[in-house]
A and B are shown apart, each in its own frame.
Chain A
Amino acid sequence: MNRPSETVDATRRMIVKGTAVLALIGFAGIRFGWSPAFAAANGKYPEDAFKQKSSEDAIKALYGKAAEASDKVKLDAPEIAENGAVVPIGVSTALADVTSISILVADNPNALAASYKIPAGTIPNVASRLKMAKTSNVIAVVEAGGKLYSATKEVKVTVGGCGG
C-alpha cells in the first residue's frame, strides 16, 4: 500500500492522543469492614464514628451532640495542600476544660480522620499530618466543658505534575 510521498508537512504531522492516562491511583468507593481491634486500655476505639461517611454523623457518633462554630477554635491548615498524601493540620484553642479534639475531612470516604483525648494538664494544641482524597472542608472539633465547638477551613487538593 503506497502512501502519498512523504512531504515535510506529512512528517511534521503528529497525533496527540491522551492515551497515556496519568496512572492516578483511583479512590474506589469500596468500604471494607474494619476488623474490630481490641479496645486499648484507655477507652474503646470509636469504631462506629470512623465508619460514618458524613462529618455530622461522625461527630454525633463520637460525641452524641452537634458542634457549633466558634472563633475560639484555631484551625491551622494550608490553603493549597502540597500533596493530598501529607497535609499538615494544627488545632489549638484558648477554651478551658478541653477534654477532646477531633479532626474531620468532610469529603474523604470517611469523614473522621483523628480524635485525640486531652486529659487534664495537657495543653489543647495538637499537630498532625492527614491524607485528603480531594479538595474538601477540614473541620476541627473541640469538646470543652461538655460543649462542642468547631472551626472549618477549605483545603484545596489536586494532583501535581503535567499529566504524564
Chain B
Amino acid sequence: MSSIMRPLIAVVAVTAAVAAASPLHAASEADFSVAYAAAEAANKQAGALRNQWTTTAATLASAKKAAAEGNFDAAVAASKDAEALAKASIYQANEQKDAWREMEIK
C-alpha cells in the first residue's frame, strides 16, 4: 500500500512462535528468578537510555504471572523473550544515536 505499510507488515509478520520444545526437565523456580533478573537488568539499562518498549514490560509481567501460577517453563520462556526485547531496545537506542540523521529534512 505504501512505504508506511512495509515496516508495519514486516513487524507484524515477524511473530515469535516460542517453540514449546519438550523440556528435558521442567524449569525450576531458581531458573525462573535467574532468567527474570537478567531480563529486568536489561530493561533497566534500556530505561537508562530512555528507550524502553511497552512490550518488554508486558512480557515481564506475563513471566511473573506464569511463575506465580507455578508454570516455570512458560515463566522462563517469557523472561527470555523479555530479555531479548530489552536487548533489542538497547541496540535500537545505540544504533539510532547516529542513524536518526538519515531522515533529517535537509
Interface size on A, residues (CB 8 A): 14
Digitize A1-14: 1 where CB-to-B-CB distance is under 8 Å, 0 elsewhere. Answer: 10000000011111
Q: Are B54 and A14 in contact (CB under 8 A)?
A: no
Q: Are B34 and A1 in contact (CB under 8 A)?
A: yes
Q: Are A162 and B34 in contact (CB under 8 A)?
A: no
Q: Are B84 and A14 in contact (CB under 8 A)?
A: yes
Shortest beta-carbon distance from A160 to chain B in Å: 14
Q: In the assembly, what is the distance between CA of A11 and CA of B91, in Å?
A: 7
Q: Are A16 and B14 in contact (CB under 8 A)?
A: yes
Q: How large is the interface on B (under 10, 10 to 19, 20 to 34, 35 or more residues)?
A: 20 to 34
- Known contacts: A16-B16, A162-B8. The answer to whether A11 contacts B58 by CB under 8 A is no
Shortest beta-carbon distance from B86 to chain A in Å: 10
Q: Are B91 and A12 in contact (CB under 8 A)?
A: yes
Shortest beta-carbon distance from A6 to chain B in Å: 8
Q: Are A20 and B58 in contact (CB under 8 A)?
A: yes
- Select B15's contact among A13, A17, A20, beta carbons within 8 Å: A17
Q: Which residues of A contact B75 (CB under 8 A)?
A: none
Any B CB within 8 A of the CB of A19: yes
- Known contacts: A1-B31, A20-B54, A162-B8. The answer to whether A11 contacts B87 by CB under 8 A is yes
Any A CB within 8 A of the CB of B51: no
| B residues in contact (CB < 8 Å) with A | 8, 11-12, 14-16, 18, 31, 34-35, 54-55, 58-59, 62, 81, 84-85, 87-88, 90-91
